[in-house]
Structure 1
Protein backbone atom coordinates (compact mmCIF):
# COMPACT_ATOMS: atom_id res chain seq x y z
CA UNK A 1 0.00 0.00 0.00
CA UNK A 2 1.30 3.45 -0.92
CA UNK A 3 0.25 6.34 1.30
CA UNK A 4 0.35 9.93 0.04
CA UNK A 5 0.57 12.65 2.70
CA UNK A 6 -0.88 16.10 2.08
CA UNK A 7 0.15 18.99 4.32
CA UNK A 8 -0.70 22.60 5.06
CA UNK A 9 0.76 25.07 7.55
CA UNK A 10 -1.06 27.99 9.15
CA UNK A 11 -0.40 31.00 11.32
CA UNK A 12 -2.93 33.35 12.90
CA UNK A 13 -2.31 37.08 12.49
CA UNK A 14 -4.79 39.93 12.96
CA UNK A 15 -8.14 38.56 11.82
CA UNK A 16 -7.00 35.75 9.51
CA UNK A 17 -4.99 32.57 9.25
CA UNK A 18 -2.35 32.52 6.53
CA UNK A 19 -2.13 29.01 5.10
CA UNK A 20 0.85 27.74 3.12
CA UNK A 21 0.37 24.73 0.85
CA UNK A 22 3.09 23.04 -1.20
CA UNK A 23 5.76 25.39 0.27
CA UNK A 24 4.65 28.48 -1.66
CA UNK A 25 0.90 28.59 -2.30
CA UNK A 26 -0.61 31.14 0.11
CA UNK A 27 -4.26 31.31 1.17
CA UNK A 28 -5.77 33.77 3.63
CA UNK A 29 -8.65 32.30 5.61
CA UNK A 30 -11.04 34.12 7.96
CA UNK A 31 -14.23 33.62 9.90
CA UNK A 32 -17.82 34.44 9.03
CA UNK A 33 -18.20 38.17 8.55
CA UNK A 34 -14.65 38.69 7.32
CA UNK A 35 -13.62 39.48 3.75
CA UNK A 36 -11.44 36.37 3.55
CA UNK A 37 -12.36 32.98 2.17
CA UNK A 38 -13.99 30.86 4.88
CA UNK A 39 -12.78 27.36 5.91
CA UNK A 40 -16.15 25.95 4.84
CA UNK A 41 -15.77 27.51 1.37
CA UNK A 42 -12.34 25.89 1.02
CA UNK A 43 -13.84 22.56 2.02
CA UNK A 44 -16.61 22.94 -0.56
CA UNK A 45 -14.17 24.10 -3.26
CA UNK A 46 -12.04 21.03 -2.56
CA UNK A 47 -15.04 18.72 -2.66
CA UNK A 48 -16.39 20.18 -5.92
CA UNK A 49 -13.06 20.24 -7.72
CA UNK A 50 -12.26 16.71 -6.55
CA UNK A 51 -15.50 15.28 -7.95
CA UNK A 52 -15.07 17.13 -11.27
CA UNK A 53 -11.45 15.94 -11.54
CA UNK A 54 -12.47 12.39 -10.62
CA UNK A 55 -15.11 12.32 -13.39
CA UNK A 56 -12.50 13.55 -15.87
CA UNK A 57 -9.91 11.01 -14.66
CA UNK A 58 -12.28 8.04 -14.87
CA UNK A 59 -13.63 9.15 -18.25
CA UNK A 60 -10.08 9.17 -19.63
CA UNK A 61 -9.37 5.85 -17.94
CA UNK A 62 -12.40 4.28 -19.67
CA UNK A 63 -12.02 6.10 -22.98
CA UNK A 64 -15.29 8.00 -22.51
CA UNK A 65 -15.47 11.30 -24.41
CA UNK A 66 -16.37 14.26 -22.18
CA UNK A 67 -16.69 17.71 -23.73
CA UNK A 68 -17.02 19.61 -20.46
CA UNK A 69 -17.76 19.41 -16.76
CA UNK A 70 -18.92 22.22 -14.52
CA UNK A 71 -20.54 22.37 -11.16
CA UNK A 72 -21.94 24.21 -8.20
CA UNK A 73 -21.83 23.13 -4.57
CA UNK A 74 -23.45 24.48 -1.47
CA UNK A 75 -23.08 23.63 2.18
CA UNK A 76 -25.55 24.51 4.91
CA UNK A 77 -24.33 25.51 8.37
CA UNK A 78 -26.21 26.66 11.46
CA UNK A 79 -23.94 29.23 13.17
CA UNK A 80 -25.53 28.40 16.55
CA UNK A 81 -23.35 25.27 16.65
CA UNK A 82 -20.10 27.22 16.25
CA UNK A 83 -21.35 29.73 18.83
CA UNK A 84 -21.63 26.98 21.43
CA UNK A 85 -25.21 25.69 21.31
CA UNK A 86 -24.74 22.02 22.26
CA UNK A 87 -27.81 20.75 20.40
CA UNK A 88 -26.46 21.98 17.02
CA UNK A 89 -23.37 20.52 15.30
CA UNK A 90 -20.74 23.23 14.65
CA UNK A 91 -19.94 22.03 11.12
CA UNK A 92 -21.76 21.72 7.83
CA UNK A 93 -25.14 20.03 8.15
CA UNK A 94 -25.68 19.26 4.47
CA UNK A 95 -23.72 19.44 1.22
CA UNK A 96 -25.42 19.57 -2.18
CA UNK A 97 -23.53 19.10 -5.45
CA UNK A 98 -24.95 20.15 -8.83
CA UNK A 99 -22.75 18.80 -11.65
CA UNK A 100 -23.25 19.17 -15.40
CA UNK A 101 -21.36 16.80 -17.69
CA UNK A 102 -21.36 17.29 -21.45
CA UNK A 103 -21.01 13.94 -23.20
CA UNK A 104 -22.76 11.90 -25.89
CA UNK A 105 -21.02 8.70 -24.81
CA UNK A 106 -23.41 5.96 -23.69
CA UNK A 107 -21.01 4.97 -20.88
CA UNK A 108 -21.12 8.37 -19.16
CA UNK A 109 -23.53 7.17 -16.43
CA UNK A 110 -21.08 4.39 -15.59
CA UNK A 111 -18.32 7.02 -15.25
CA UNK A 112 -20.51 9.19 -13.00
CA UNK A 113 -21.44 6.28 -10.71
CA UNK A 114 -17.82 5.25 -10.40
CA UNK A 115 -16.72 8.85 -9.77
CA UNK A 116 -19.15 9.14 -6.87
CA UNK A 117 -17.70 5.96 -5.42
CA UNK A 118 -14.02 6.84 -6.01
CA UNK A 119 -13.92 10.60 -5.28
CA UNK A 120 -11.53 11.07 -2.32
CA UNK A 121 -13.12 14.27 -0.99
CA UNK A 122 -16.69 12.95 -1.25
CA UNK A 123 -15.50 9.89 0.64
CA UNK A 124 -13.84 12.09 3.27
CA UNK A 125 -17.04 14.10 3.76
CA UNK A 126 -19.27 11.04 4.09
CA UNK A 127 -17.09 8.61 6.05
CA UNK A 128 -15.95 9.05 9.64
CA UNK A 129 -12.17 9.36 9.64
CA UNK A 130 -9.55 9.26 12.38
CA UNK A 131 -8.53 12.78 13.45
CA UNK A 132 -5.64 13.42 15.84
CA UNK A 133 -4.93 16.82 17.41
CA UNK A 134 -1.68 17.43 19.28
CA UNK A 135 -1.60 20.71 21.23
CA UNK A 136 1.57 22.46 22.37
CA UNK A 137 1.20 25.31 24.87
CA UNK A 138 4.08 27.79 24.81
CA UNK A 139 4.60 30.34 27.55
CA UNK A 140 5.08 33.93 26.46
CA UNK A 141 7.06 36.71 28.09
Structure 2
Protein backbone atom coordinates (compact mmCIF):
# COMPACT_ATOMS: atom_id res chain seq x y z
CA UNK A 1 0.00 0.00 0.00
CA UNK A 2 1.25 3.47 -0.84
CA UNK A 3 1.52 6.14 1.80
CA UNK A 4 0.08 9.66 1.46
CA UNK A 5 3.61 10.99 0.94
CA UNK A 6 4.23 8.53 -1.90
CA UNK A 7 0.93 9.47 -3.56
CA UNK A 8 1.79 13.15 -3.16
CA UNK A 9 5.25 12.69 -4.71
CA UNK A 10 3.94 10.61 -7.63
CA UNK A 11 1.08 13.00 -8.38
CA UNK A 12 3.28 16.08 -8.07
CA UNK A 13 5.86 14.50 -10.37
CA UNK A 14 3.19 13.86 -12.97
CA UNK A 15 1.56 17.29 -12.64
CA UNK A 16 4.88 19.13 -12.93
CA UNK A 17 5.64 17.45 -16.28
CA UNK A 18 3.49 20.03 -18.06
CA UNK A 19 5.52 22.93 -16.63
CA UNK A 20 8.76 21.17 -17.53
CA UNK A 21 7.65 20.73 -21.14
CA UNK A 22 6.48 24.34 -21.38
CA UNK A 23 9.82 25.55 -19.99
CA UNK A 24 11.53 23.62 -22.80
CA UNK A 25 9.19 25.25 -25.32
CA UNK A 26 10.12 28.68 -23.94
CA UNK A 27 13.83 27.86 -24.21
CA UNK A 28 13.50 26.67 -27.81
CA UNK A 29 11.33 29.65 -28.76
CA UNK A 30 14.06 31.96 -27.43
CA UNK A 31 16.59 30.09 -29.55
CA UNK A 32 14.27 30.38 -32.56
CA UNK A 33 13.98 34.13 -31.99
CA UNK A 34 17.79 34.49 -31.96
CA UNK A 35 18.02 32.37 -35.10
CA UNK A 36 15.43 34.55 -36.83
CA UNK A 37 17.56 37.57 -35.99
CA UNK A 38 20.59 35.88 -37.57
CA UNK A 39 18.56 35.00 -40.66
CA UNK A 40 17.40 38.60 -40.98
CA UNK A 41 20.95 39.90 -40.60
CA UNK A 42 22.19 37.60 -43.37
CA UNK A 43 19.40 38.80 -45.63
CA UNK A 44 20.08 42.45 -44.81
CA UNK A 45 22.25 44.14 -47.47
CA UNK A 46 23.70 46.58 -44.91
CA UNK A 47 25.36 43.79 -42.94
CA UNK A 48 26.95 41.85 -45.80
CA UNK A 49 30.21 43.76 -45.38
CA UNK A 50 30.84 42.26 -41.93
CA UNK A 51 34.00 40.20 -41.58
CA UNK A 52 33.30 36.53 -42.02
CA UNK A 53 34.46 33.59 -40.00
CA UNK A 54 36.50 30.72 -41.39
CA UNK A 55 33.33 28.61 -41.61
CA UNK A 56 30.56 30.16 -43.64
CA UNK A 57 27.05 29.65 -42.32
CA UNK A 58 24.72 30.00 -45.25
CA UNK A 59 21.13 31.12 -45.25
CA UNK A 60 20.14 27.59 -46.23
CA UNK A 61 21.93 26.20 -43.15
CA UNK A 62 20.05 28.60 -40.91
CA UNK A 63 16.71 27.85 -42.57
CA UNK A 64 17.25 24.12 -42.06
CA UNK A 65 18.12 24.76 -38.42
CA UNK A 66 15.00 26.92 -38.08
CA UNK A 67 12.81 24.15 -39.49
CA UNK A 68 14.33 21.61 -37.07
CA UNK A 69 13.71 23.90 -34.10
CA UNK A 70 10.12 24.54 -35.20
CA UNK A 71 9.54 20.78 -35.47
CA UNK A 72 11.00 20.26 -32.00
CA UNK A 73 8.75 22.99 -30.56
CA UNK A 74 5.71 21.48 -32.28
CA UNK A 75 6.51 18.03 -30.83
CA UNK A 76 6.83 19.48 -27.34
CA UNK A 77 3.55 21.37 -27.79
CA UNK A 78 1.80 18.22 -28.97
CA UNK A 79 2.97 16.38 -25.83
CA UNK A 80 2.04 19.37 -23.66
CA UNK A 81 -1.50 19.59 -25.10
CA UNK A 82 -2.12 15.91 -24.40
CA UNK A 83 -0.75 16.21 -20.86
CA UNK A 84 -2.69 19.44 -20.21
CA UNK A 85 -5.95 17.73 -21.24
CA UNK A 86 -5.24 14.81 -18.91
CA UNK A 87 -4.48 17.17 -16.03
CA UNK A 88 -7.55 19.33 -16.69
CA UNK A 89 -9.75 16.22 -16.75
CA UNK A 90 -8.27 15.05 -13.45
CA UNK A 91 -8.74 18.49 -11.87
CA UNK A 92 -12.37 18.57 -13.04
CA UNK A 93 -12.96 15.46 -10.93
CA UNK A 94 -11.82 17.13 -7.71
CA UNK A 95 -14.77 17.91 -5.44
CA UNK A 96 -13.14 21.00 -3.94
CA UNK A 97 -13.10 23.71 -6.61
CA UNK A 98 -10.52 25.75 -4.67
CA UNK A 99 -8.08 22.82 -4.75
CA UNK A 100 -8.64 22.45 -8.48
CA UNK A 101 -8.15 26.18 -9.04
CA UNK A 102 -4.90 26.26 -7.02
CA UNK A 103 -3.51 23.27 -8.95
CA UNK A 104 -4.61 24.73 -12.28
CA UNK A 105 -2.97 28.07 -11.55
CA UNK A 106 0.19 26.49 -10.19
CA UNK A 107 0.84 23.62 -12.59
CA UNK A 108 -0.83 24.83 -15.80
CA UNK A 109 -0.45 28.60 -15.55
CA UNK A 110 2.91 28.62 -13.75
CA UNK A 111 1.82 31.03 -11.01
CA UNK A 112 3.59 30.77 -7.65
CA UNK A 113 1.67 29.76 -4.53
CA UNK A 114 2.43 33.18 -3.04
CA UNK A 115 0.86 34.93 -6.03
CA UNK A 116 -2.08 32.51 -6.01
CA UNK A 117 -2.77 33.51 -2.40
CA UNK A 118 -3.00 37.14 -3.48
CA UNK A 119 -5.14 36.28 -6.50
CA UNK A 120 -7.59 34.16 -4.51
CA UNK A 121 -7.41 36.41 -1.42
CA UNK A 122 -6.57 33.51 0.88
CA UNK A 123 -3.62 33.29 3.23
CA UNK A 124 -0.54 31.64 1.78
CA UNK A 125 -0.83 28.96 4.47
CA UNK A 126 -4.37 28.11 3.32
CA UNK A 127 -3.23 27.98 -0.33
CA UNK A 128 -0.47 25.54 0.64
CA UNK A 129 -3.05 23.35 2.40
CA UNK A 130 -5.28 23.44 -0.69
CA UNK A 131 -2.26 22.61 -2.86
CA UNK A 132 -1.14 19.62 -0.76
CA UNK A 133 -4.68 18.31 -0.35
CA UNK A 134 -5.43 18.75 -4.05
CA UNK A 135 -2.25 17.01 -5.19
CA UNK A 136 -3.04 14.05 -2.91
CA UNK A 137 -6.65 13.79 -4.07
CA UNK A 138 -5.98 14.13 -7.79
CA UNK A 139 -6.63 10.86 -9.60
CA UNK A 140 -4.11 10.61 -12.42
CA UNK A 141 -3.46 7.90 -14.95
CA UNK A 142 0.25 7.58 -14.16
State the TM-score, normalized to the length of structure 2. Answer: 0.29
- Bigger share in helix: 2
State the TM-score, normalized to the length of structure 1. Answer: 0.29
Who wins on radius of gyration, i.e. which is larger?
2
- Bigger share in strand: 1
Higher relative contact order (CA 8 A, sep 6+): 2
